[in-house]
Amino acid sequence: MKNVIFKWMVIGLVVGILTSAAMLKYFNFVAPNPEWKCFLDVLEYMESGGYNKAVGPAGEIGCLQLTKIYVDDVNRILGKRRFKYTDRRNKYKSREMVRIYLQHYSKGLSFKDKARIHHNGDPNGHLKESTREFGERVVDMMSKWKEDKQ
């Protein structure tokens, strides 16, 4: 009887590990480095105060204030319709969309420029004068948050 219980425990453990690995691969999970996590925390705070049900004046939704066009662009980058408009209200899916969008459009750019691109919802947002102040505020807040955590 002990061998049967042990066998089922091992099978359950293996199935759990394989399921977890499959889910991580499906959701394209990448463990964030501390600076990237800080960046997303600051963006979320500045965009909505962290409120998942926030609605902006131009129809932006969620804690990161994503538009429908932003979601469409992320799905286009992925080559498949992985995200729905309702996913903008999900903190984790919103963060994943921002990561995908910015990895595509801001390779090699600073966090300041990444913030400007995100805030404007335009791949050339970092070149627009109207986004300069937002980018500077994000970087300033990131440095303050890092100081607070030390």
pLDDT tens-digit map of 11-29: 766 666 656 555 555 554 5
The DSSP code for 84 is: -
Q: Is the pLDDT score of 110 beyond 90?
A: yes
Same domain, 93 and 145: yes
Same domain, 66 and 137: yes
Same domain, 100 and 143: yes
Same domain, 134 and 75: yes
Neighbouring-strand partners of residue 66: 61
Same domain, 64 and 13: no
Same domain, 120 and 47: yes
Same domain, 62 and 9: no
Same domain, 19 and 87: no
Round to whole Å and give the CA distance between 120 and 126.
8
Specify the CATH number for the domain of residue 47.
1.10.530.10
Distances in whole angstroms, Cα of residue 113 to Cα of each of 31, 70, 147: 22, 17, 21
Same domain, 133 and 74: yes
Ordered DSSP codes for 10-62? HHHHHHHHHHHHHHHHHTT--PPPHHHHHHHHHHHHHHHTT-TT-B-TTS-BT
How many domains is the chain partitioned into structurally? Answer: 2
Residue 5 is part of which domain span?
A: 1-28
CA angle (98, 137, 62) in 5-degree steps: 35
CA atoms within 13 A on the CB side of 130: 8
7 three-state secondary structure:
helix
Same domain, 104 and 128: yes
pLDDT tens-digit map of 63-106: 999 999 999 999 999 999 999 999 999 999 999 999 999 999 99
pLDDT tens-digit map of 28-66: 455 568 889 999 999 999 999 999 899 999 899 999 999
